Amino acid sequence: MKVEVAYATPEKQRIITLEVAEGSTAKQAVLQSAIVDVFPEIDPDHIDMGIFGKAIKMPETHQLREGDRVELYRPLKIDPKQARLNRAKKKP
């Protein structure tokens, strides 16, 4: 079945389309995609993942369906609530 693996930094983005076996997991797709060769900072064992924007808690057991896009999420640099508060304080 055909799935995608996606990752982005501010400098570059990549979506890799690949064929995986029926019953493959999100983590297996990430490993099979070799996206780590493009983004060496990715640690497939510890990075947060999601399917179309919805986080998955256990990528090593989450079975994919045809057409799924596995998204890899970078850690947040600042809590979104704190960022909004900081922006609000800057407004005149």
- pLDDT tens for each residue of 5-55: 999 998 999 999 999 999 999 999 999 999 999 999 999 999 999 999 999
- What pLDDT is stored for residue 92 in this prediction? 67
- What pLDDT is stored for residue 64 in this prediction? 97
For residues 67 and 75, give the distance between their C-alpha atoms in angstroms, rounded to a whole number.
25
pLDDT at position 78 over 80: no
Domain range enclosing 50:
2-90
Tokens of 88: 């609000």
Domain count, the chain: 1
In the three-class reduction of DSSP (H, G, I as helix; E, B as strand; rest coil), residue 61 is classed as: coil
pLDDT at position 88 over 90: no
Mean local confidence (pLDDT), 64-90: 88
The helix (H) or strand (E) run that includes residue 33 is helix 26-33
- The CATH code of the domain that includes 53 is 3.10.20.90
For residues 1 and 72, give the distance between their C-alpha atoms in angstroms, rounded to a whole number.
20
